[in-house]
Chain A
């Protein structure tokens, strides 16, 4: 016999607390954009792997500059953005 409780959607075994189409902070969206940029940067690492120790140290030097800039970005993200997320 279908009733309201039976046809309800559940949230981790509980009845839903609120509407799922709720408003949320735009910072989450921007964090997703940051993820995209890191995704692109890490995709550029892949072609380095097969030539890493075959044609001298030059590609490794470039990838080290690469890693340095990436590390700087991660450091800034952890110090600036992470602290601002503490508020929420």
Chain B
């Protein structure tokens, strides 16, 4: 499991360090794939499949499409950052690495904590995590899709409704731009 997380971090940092934008997008696909594998390893099969279908199948392909459409090189973007945001070249590189690492560590922590809180509805602190470090095994007792459904449609139904309204607003925006 830790091996997978280290691989996710390496590929996420490679996204920022890759020499060309196409390679960045490919490394992003690798990151999504590894995140899907990570989710599968902690027992969230549906989310793992959604990572494969939605993130790699649709969003990454869309990113590749955008890169093809606007033929920018990484140097042009870097130049843009240096001239308009007024950062030095070395600093921009360091900021990129730090931001990516922080983002992915935060996301992974959230995933782990949410999984723990669903499988063990007791107060979770660090000693609890250490005690139930085999939480993946307990998740198989109930279907992951079922528990996700209960979480989405019963526990967090209001958040789901807000999400649906936001998604609808986004699609209205696309429709208005398309018009």
Taking beta carbons and an 8 Å cutoff, which residues of A are in contact with B? 26-27, 29-41, 43-44, 46-51, 55, 58-59, 62-63, 65-66, 69-70, 72-73, 76-77, 80-81, 84
Chain B interface residue count, CB cutoff 8 Å, equals 36
- Does A62 lie within 8 Å of B160, measured CB to CB? yes
Contact between chains at A69 and B165 (CB < 8 Å):
yes
Consensus secondary structure, chain A interface: helix
Majority-rule SS of B interface residues = helix
| B148→A47 contact, CB < 8 A | yes
Mark out the residues of chain B between 42 and 69 whose CB falls within 8 Å of any chain A CB in the assembled complex.
Answer: 46, 50, 53-54, 58-59, 62, 65-66, 69
User: Are B175 and A81 in touch, CB under 8 angstroms?
Assistant: yes
- Known contacts: A37-B174, A62-B157. The answer to whether A72 contacts B46 by CB under 8 A is no
Residues of B within 8 A of A63 (CB): 153
Q: Which one of A30, A35, A40, A46 contacts B46 once the chains associate, using CB atoms below 8 Å?
A: A46
